[in-house]
Chain A
Amino acid sequence: MNAIIPIDVLIIGGGPAGLAAALAAKAAGADDILILERENELGGILRQCIHTGFGLHIFKEELTGPEYAARYISDVQAQNIPAQCDTMVIDITSDRLVTCVSAAHGLQQFQAGAIVLAMGCRERPRGALGIPGARCSGIYSAGTAQRFVNLEGYLPGRRVVILGSGDIGLIMARRLTFAGIKVEAVVELMPYSSGLKRNIVQCLDDFGIPLMLSHTVTAIHGKGRLTGVTISKVDADLKPIPGSELHLPCDTLLLSVGLIPENELSRNAGVDLDATTGGPVVDNRLQTSVPGIFACGNVLHVHDLVDHVSVEAAEAGRQAALAAASRHQDEPESAVTVRAGDGVRGIVPQRINSEALTTAPVKLMFRPSSVCRNAVLVVEADGVPVHRVKKRVLTPGEMVELSIKPDFFAAVKPVRELCISCENQ
């Protein structure tokens, strides 16, 4: 076993979050930075997202995923920031000892001044759904199918049904149609789609692919290979309605039923996780409950837009560089807890330093619990409403950003809790 290697800022994951964090750490003065990535190249999930729709905010251009990633990768290379690919991080401790394995270097250990968690997320597997029926082949998560087609050059089947109308499923419906595959239907349990309207129009409507809302797959048929699925209508409680069954022949079922932040490593390090976001609990500096460990991108909470990931990750990288430079153990500081009130879920950050709150704006990100038209977002400081802002429309498919400004607290300064809620008018 090799000696423990000291490093100032260690970045785990070389997707858009890791890349932006590395660049910002460098800009903030960190010299000794390393990115660890388990795949054979940098870029993360963007490598397989060959459709356009990336970078509209940051570059004001409609780029594909690989093009967006390439811009950051060339900046990282120009800054001489080292990245070690084909390297899987297997453990992180609360005192920031990181263990990883690779064919090239075997087992390595790093003692980091600060760590940025940027491991992204993974898809919810079939097991998490509990669909009854045969255990045959031909069932994939939409992202796995995307990887097969876009990176490995295989087609998953000839006749496809997609369960769940998340964006990955919608994007795959179009990609498979382009490849000459028949997409029979996209089946969605909820009465609305979690995907972007743009994707519904341009990936389904353009090709006449039916979107069956309030339906689900209730049985899977086939021995060896999938031969078809049974679709049922669901009632208001999302329970299948007997007698509404419909048989759809197909050889492939894709699941596009949501993403979960990838936090096994964070758990090992003793980082507190938020039950709603699935990611670490962080403060306004994106520091987790473990001093010196920061989190950003999809490992923190699932983002819709990579541009937001890059902005968030840059802040995490900057803060990590500052923490590594000062090497101070964080003194317990007074923090205000941020709570999601009615109609709001998954607020990040979950804690704000009391002083930060009254000196500069702090950006909160969250999702509404359901589609709200003419909504009013209400900010309460220790139970006293201090700010209201109208929003024309909020949907769970698009993250909401709310800037908490010092002048909200001219009259009442929160000491314990800030609560954000959404009123439907």
Chain B
Amino acid sequence: MMQRRAFGRHALGHLSHVQLFSDYPMITMKREITCISCPLGCSLEVSLADGQVVAVTGNECPRGVAYARQECVHPERMVTALIPIPGRTPPLSVRTERPIPKNRISDCLCAIAAARPTLPIRIGDVIIPDVVGVGVAVIATRDLL
């Protein structure tokens, strides 16, 4: 438990370069991901315990660790989609104002598909104020007057 506290969420902020806690008692899972923070695209092997990142290997710089923590613990994505407007082309293009949790993409797409916005719409207009309860708005990315 001592060790666990020492490498808890905050202590992990200091992780740099290759960090390996091979004797960590609670490793429950390993994941392979690709770091997208720079064109090198290192293949990272991430060890997770209790849903937290405890070790990262394969990164050639500290940004890989930060990426692994984000991607394995709270992965987020911007979502862009289209809403067909009967009798009009092009369809209305929309996006989430900020990235949303990755596991809500599918729900978010369903909510967008169910939206029936009324024209005229201006770029930046809010189409759904709080999509699937994640606290992020869906906004229009073009004018449709």
Chain A residues engaging chain B, CB cutoff 8 angstroms: 47, 50-52, 62, 64, 66-67, 70, 149-153, 178-179, 196-198, 200-202, 205-206, 373, 392-395, 397-398
Contact = CB atoms under 8 A, between A and B. Distances in A.
A366 to B, nearest CB: 15
B80 interface: yes
A97 B83 CA distance: 44
B89 A152 contact: yes
A392 B90 contact: no
Nearest to B124: A67
Contacts of A153: 82, 84, 89-91
B82 A150 contact: yes
Contacts of B123: 66-67, 70
A50 B93 contact: yes
Nearest to B112: A178
B102 interface: yes
A271 B78 CA distance: 42
B72 interface: no
Contact of B89 (A151, A200, A398): A151
Nearest to B77: A202
Contacts of A150: 82, 90-91, 93
A294 B47 CA distance: 54
A252 to B, nearest CB: 18
A198 B90 contact: no
A178 B39 contact: no
Contacts of B38: 392-393
B34 interface: yes
Q: Is the interface of B mostly helix, strand, loop or mixed?
A: loop
A60 to B, nearest CB: 14
A395 B91 CA distance: 36
Contact of B82 (A50, A67, A201, A397): A50
Nearest to A68: B141
Contacts of A151: 89-90
B90 A64 contact: no
Contact of B36 (A51, A179, A197, A397): A197
A52 B80 contact: yes
B114 interface: no
B39 A398 contact: yes
A234 to B, nearest CB: 22
B93 A64 contact: yes
A70 B109 contact: no
Contact of B141 (A64, A179, A198, A200): A64
Contacts of B36: 196-198, 201-202
B80 to A, nearest CB: 5
Interface of B: 33-36, 38-41, 77-78, 80-82, 84, 89-91, 93, 95, 102, 109, 123, 141-143
Nearest to A153: B91
B93 A197 contact: no
B66 to A, nearest CB: 15
Q: Which of B35, B39, B143 has the most CB of A within 10 A?
A: B39
A398 B40 CA distance: 11
A62 B78 contact: yes
Given A52-B95, A67-B123, A200-B34, A206 B77 contact: yes
B47 to A, nearest CB: 19
A70 B122 CA distance: 11
Contact of B142 (A66, A179, A200): A66
B34 A201 contact: yes
B112 to A, nearest CB: 9
A197 B89 contact: no
A176 to B, nearest CB: 12
Contacts of A70: 123, 142-143
B68 to A, nearest CB: 13
Contacts of A64: 80, 93, 95, 141
- Give the top 3 A-B pairs by smallest Cβ distance, nearest first: A197-B41, A50-B93, A198-B36
A153 B91 CA distance: 6
A64 B93 CA distance: 9
Contacts of B33: 201
Given A151-B90, A153-B89, A52 B78 contact: yes
Given A151-B90, A205-B34, A178 B77 contact: no
Contacts of A206: 77, 102
Contacts of A149: 82
B132 to A, nearest CB: 15
Contacts of B89: 151-153
Nearest to B41: A197
Q: Which of A50, A206, A395 has the largest count of B CB atoms less than 10 A from its CB? A: A50
Contacts of A373: 40
Contacts of B84: 153
B131 to A, nearest CB: 14
A150 B83 CA distance: 10
